[in-house]
Amino acid sequence: MFRAVFSLVELIRQYVGLSQIVSEIIAFIMILAVAIIIAWIGHSLFKRYLVRWAAKTKSKLDDAILRNVRAPIFLLAFLFGLYYGLAGIASLQAYAEEFALAFTVGEILVATFLITRITNVLISWYAKESTKRRRKVSNHILFILKKVVQVIVYVFAFLLILAVFRIDLSGVVVGLGVGGIAIALALQNILSDALSAFSLYFDRPFEIGDFIVVGDYAGTVNRIGIKSTRIQLLQGEELVISNKELTTKSVRNFKKLKKRRIKFTVKVTCDTPIEKLKKIPEIIAEIIKKIEMTEFGTVHFRQFGDFSFDFDVVYYIKKGDYTKYLDIQQRINFGILEEFEKEKIDMPYPTQKVFYVNKREAT
C-alpha cells in the first residue's frame, strides 16, 4: 500500500511537472478524497439498501444495529485515508512509527465505540422483548448491566493501547489485581448483593408483581433493585430484603402456580349410621364437580378419630389465584353443610365421656 502511495507521488511529479512537496500534498488530498468517497458510498449503500431491507424484517434489532454502525464505519474509512495519505509525504517519514501508533490507537477507539453501542442496542432490545412477553424489567439493573459491559470493554481497550505502546503489562495487571481485591474486600456486602441482583435478573425465580413466600413473610414483589428487593406484605407494610438473602433462602412463587391441589378433612360424629357414612363420598364429589374451574380428586374414609369419623378430601383448582381458591373452598363448605343438614348428618365437636364408678356399689 505504501509503494502504491509513493508511485502515485512519482506519477504526479513526472507527468504534471510539479515539485516533490506539492506532488505529495496533491497525492494526500487525492487519497483522502478517495477514502471519503468510498466511505460516503458505503454510507449511502447502508442507508439505501441494508436499512430498507432491515425495515422489512419483523425484528427491530437489525435496524438498530445498522443505525449504530454506520457512523463508526465511516470514521474508520476516513482514518484509513488520512493514515495512508500522510504516509506519502516524505518529510513526515521520520514520524512514520508515531503515525502507525496513532492510527492503531484510533482503530482501537473506534472498535471500542462500536462494541459498546452494539451491546447497548442488544440490552435495550432484550428489555423490549421481555416487556412484550409481559415480563417486567428493572431499569435499574439494565442501567448497571450496560455500565458494567462498558467498563469491561474500556478496560480491555486500555490494555490494548498500552500493549501498542509496548508498555509492560505485568505491573499494570498486578496493580489492577491488587486494587480489585482491595475494592472487593471493602465493598464485599454491596458487591454480593449486586451479583445476587444479576442472578435474580437472569435466573428469574420471580418477577415484579409475583406473590412469593420467603421464610415467614408473604407478599407481592414491588421492586427488584441492585442491592435489595421490596415486597408488599399481606399485612400492608413493605419488607426490604437484601438480594443475597433472597438467593440463599427458599422462595415459594405462587404466581407460577398453574394448578392448585387442595386437601382438607371432613369429620362426622361417631354415632352416624353406616348407610349415611357410605353416602358422604358421593355427596362431597357431587358438590365439587358442580363448581367451575375445579377438578375432583378423591374422598376416602381415612380413620377413626378420637371423637369423629374422618374423611380426607382432595380436589384441584385450575388456577393459582389465592382469592379464587378461598371463594371455591367457601362454596364447597356451604354445600357440605347444606347436604349434611338434609341427610341429618352431624359434625362433631371435641367431647369426652367420663364414667363415674361408685366404690361402695362396686364392692
Q: pTM for this one?
A: 0.47
Q: Rounded distance, CA 63 to CA 10, Å? A: 45
User: By C-alpha distance, which of 315, 200, 313 is closest to 266?
Assistant: 313
E strands, the chain, in order: 211-214, 217-224, 228-233, 238-242, 251-253, 260-269, 294-304, 308-317
User: By C-alpha distance, which of 24, 29, 3, 28 is closest to 12?
Assistant: 24
Residue 107 CB neighbours (<10 A): 16
pLDDT at 6: 46
Matching CATH number, 260-343, of 1.20.1260.10, 3.40.50.2000, 3.40.50.300, 3.30.70.100: 3.30.70.100
What the block records as the C-alpha cell of 276 is 349415611
Q: Rounded distance, CA 127 to CA 138, Å? A: 9
The CATH 2.30.30.60 portion of the chain extends over 203-253
Q: What is the mean pLDDT of each run of 10 residues along the chain (363 residues)?
A: 50 56 64 70 64 58 65 72 63 66 81 84 74 61 74 84 76 65 61 71 78 87 82 88 84 82 93 93 94 92 91 91 88 95 88 67 55
> What own/partner pairs with CB < 8 Å and gap ≥ 24 does 40-43 have?
40/74, 42/73, 42/74, 42/77, 43/70, 43/73, 43/74
Note the CATH number of domain 203-253. 2.30.30.60
pLDDT at 2: 44
pLDDT at 163: 80
